Every structure is written in C-alpha cells, then in structure tokens.
Amino acid sequence: MIRQADPYRDTDVIDSRAPRTNQAIVGSLSLLAAITGWWPILGILAGQLAIGLLFGRRYCLPCLLYFEVIQPRIGEGPIEDSRPPRFANVVGAIFLGSATLAYLVGLSAVGLALALFVAALALLAAITGLCVGCEIYRVAARMRGVRARRIDSVDLAELGASGTGGEIVVEFTHPLCTDCRSLEAELRAAGRTVVTVDVSRRPELARKYGVVLVPTAVAVTASGAVVERLA
C-alpha cells in the first residue's frame, strides 16, 4: 500500500481514521470498566495514552493496531492535522488518570462519573466523528490566532502573486492536508483565483501572518488588503 503520509515520520499529520480507532478502543474499555467495576482498566488506558503522547505512535497500541493491521487492508483515509486529536488524547489521559485516582482513594462515584464521561465522548467521536476535545483545540487555536495576529493585509509580491488583477484568495496549506486540497478545489470550482502558500516550505510566512491551523484562507484585493476570511 502506498501511503501519502508515513505514520511514524509525518507526525504533524495523521490518517483521520486512526484517532477514531483509538477513541473506539478507549471508549469501549472505559465503558467496560464503568459497568463491571474493573477500574484498573482506566489506569491502564491512561498510562497507554501517556506513553503514546510521550514516546510516539510506535508505542501506542491502538495506533499500531490501526497502522499495521487495519490501514493496510482498508487503505489510507483523509489526512488531517494531528494536533487536535493529540490534544484530545491529553485530555483523555488526564480524565482517565483522575478517575483511577478517585477509585484509589475511595471516591468510587467520582471515578464512575469520570469513566462514563470519557466513554461517552470517546464513543461519540468514534461513531460520529465529532471529537469534542479536537473541536475545543481548533476553537482555542483560532481564537489565539485571531487575537495575536489578525490578517489585515498580505504582501502579494513575496507570494509571487503581484500584478494579479481583481480579488484573489490566499490559502495557507500543507501538502498532506486533505481539507486544504478540498477547499482549494471548491474555490477554483467557484471561479476564484487562488494563490497557495505551503507552510511546510514557507514557515516564515506562517509565523508572519499568525497562521495556527491549515487551511487558512483570506480573500484579498489586488493591493493585498484583506476583505474576507474564508477559513
């Protein structure tokens, strides 16, 4: 199987099906622990998440299951930014660790509530694709980006787009970003002129314009003044 993104080298992105596999396992085992009272399962899950976060995907058992067993059979899914699911894993590890600690000190009701909370959110993400932790990360990142560096104008000359007549769209992208390609295709299909900026090749421009997530797209006039933020 030809992979667009190497799961162990291209760690800034991830196959979107991998987090859902992890969420399915975490959610199912958390629910099992809550129903049966086998609360040490929660500690094992917290430890496994922490190990994966600290040492990488090669030490994450659900990741290995997906990348070595499932993905070769079903193919690679859409590629997405790995930071939102990583943040969700951090939150999951904290809640699972807290649930384990609650059981250890005799606060079984608190431990049960935390376990059910993790199970509910993880299974919701696995089944529907709605990852609450991921969405919190995206919203917070965009808020930080807007507050820190709102894009008011773009120097089209440094993008090689000077002299372009009329309104154009400047899109900050990454070569492994599926959403970036989809957005670009939609914009071009709508008749928009699109200039792309690959943040992996031009990180200085990402820093200059305060781009924290891709795709980020703005519509600008021929002089570079931003008239609308599209993504």
pLDDT at 150: 72
Instruction: Give per-residue burial for 109-142: e unless 16+ CB within 10 Å, then b.
Output: eebbebbbebbebbbebbeeeebebbeebbeebe
The predicted pLDDT at position 213 comes to 78
For residue 146, the model assigns a pLDDT of: 46
| Each residue's pLDDT tens digit, 126-175 | 999 999 999 998 788 767 654 445 788 888 888 877 666 678 899 999 88
What is the Cα–Cα distance from 209 to 189, expressed in whole angstroms? 26
For residue 124, the model assigns a pLDDT of: 96
- pLDDT tens track for 56-75: 999 999 999 999 999 999 99
Which residues does 208 contact at the CB level (< 8 Å), separation at least 6? none
Consecutive H or E run containing 206: helix 203-208
Collapse the DSSP code of 191 into the 3-class scheme (helix H, G, I; strand E, B; otherwise coil) and give the result. coil
Q: Where are the domains of the chain?
A: 13-142, 150-229
CATH topology of domain 150-229: Glutaredoxin (3.40.30)
Which residue in this structure is represented by tokens 């899950």? 45
| Cα 98 to Cα 51: distance, rounded to the nearest angstrom | 16
Mean of the per-residue pLDDT values of the chain: 89
Tokens 């979107």, residue? 16
Digit-coded pLDDT (tens) for 25-48: 999 999 999 999 999 999 999 999
